[in-house]
Amino acid sequence: MPQAGSIVGTEPSAGPGSPLPVPHTPNFVAAAPHYRNQLTVVTMPDVLDRRSFRAVNASQPDAWSLATKRGLDIVLSSVAILVILPLLCAVAIAIRLDSAGPVLYRSARVGRKGVVFTCYKFRSMHPDADATKEELRSRNERDGAFFKIADDPRITRLGRCLRRYSLDELPQLWNVLCGDMSLVGPRPHPIDDVDRYGAEDFRRLGFPPGITGLWQITAREDPSFQRCVALDVEYISRWSLLLDFRILARTLPVVLRGSGQ
């Protein structure tokens, strides 16, 4: 496995019109070993060129805004974990009784500036789900980098209920507390989905990834990846603490409607 600070992929020469080598600089991508959940791999896919490099850096919030957002994330995620602890235990027990396999699903996701981290979810699929994903890709019903199919055979009986009410996402409160994610922001995508990004899609990597966001409360069932990216960019450009609180307030009613997949 590559060591912290290494780059996955090749570094082509930076002639006119050629991909821009990923710079070895902590201002762009760097491992964060002080995060206990951080993996030791930093990645930006080979499709990263001058346009996507500019797109990521054009989306950077200022340090004070990030610090304020981070402080609220720590407080709110800590309180939320304590309040829903009985629910977390109940779901964990139900998963153990429903099907064989671990309670938690650990997925490598791409976060801000391309830093890869371990994203936690309650397991809603059979343990071999990742191994069979490519076999099912021809049945994908979403556009672009999204992957979603109806009646996914990998999902367990209990998993369908967990996904319907987004209960499988609750362990990501730990990701928020550790600093890998925020309560509100663009959803973090798996590495193989990020490999399918177009150059302009990298704009969404300029902001901390979140559990919920504009897409989740306004277009959750929209199959268009470009619609998702447009909403993420709109969120980043309009970001304020008030907007975060508005999104959080609208998230609960959306979740209770059971529109998750």
Q: Helix, strand or coil for residue 119? A: strand
Residue at 242 is within a domain:
yes
pLDDT at site 110: 92
Q: Is residue 96 part of a domain?
A: yes
Q: Is residue 30 part of a domain?
A: no
> Is residue 184 a part of any domain in this protein?
yes
pLDDT of 106 > 90? The answer is yes
Amino acid 141: pLDDT: 64
Evaluate whether residue 82 is within a structural domain. yes
pLDDT in tens, 151-182: 788 889 999 999 999 999 999 999 999 999 99
Buried b or exposed e, range 161-177, using 16+ CB within 10 angstroms = bbbbebbbbbbbbbbbb
Q: Establish if 119 belongs to a structural domain.
A: yes
Give pTM, 2 decimals.
0.75
pLDDT digits (tens, 9 = 90+) for 122-138: 999 988 887 777 777 76
Considering the domain boundaries, does residue 6 fall inside one? no
| Closest to 148 measured CA to CA, from 100, 220, 254 | 220
Identify the weakest region by mean pLDDT among 84-93, 143-152, 221-230. Answer: 143-152
Number of structural domains in the chain:
1
pLDDT at residue 61 greater than cutoff 70: no
Average pLDDT over residues 55-62: 59
What domain range includes position 223?
63-256
Domain membership of residue 38 (yes or no) is: no
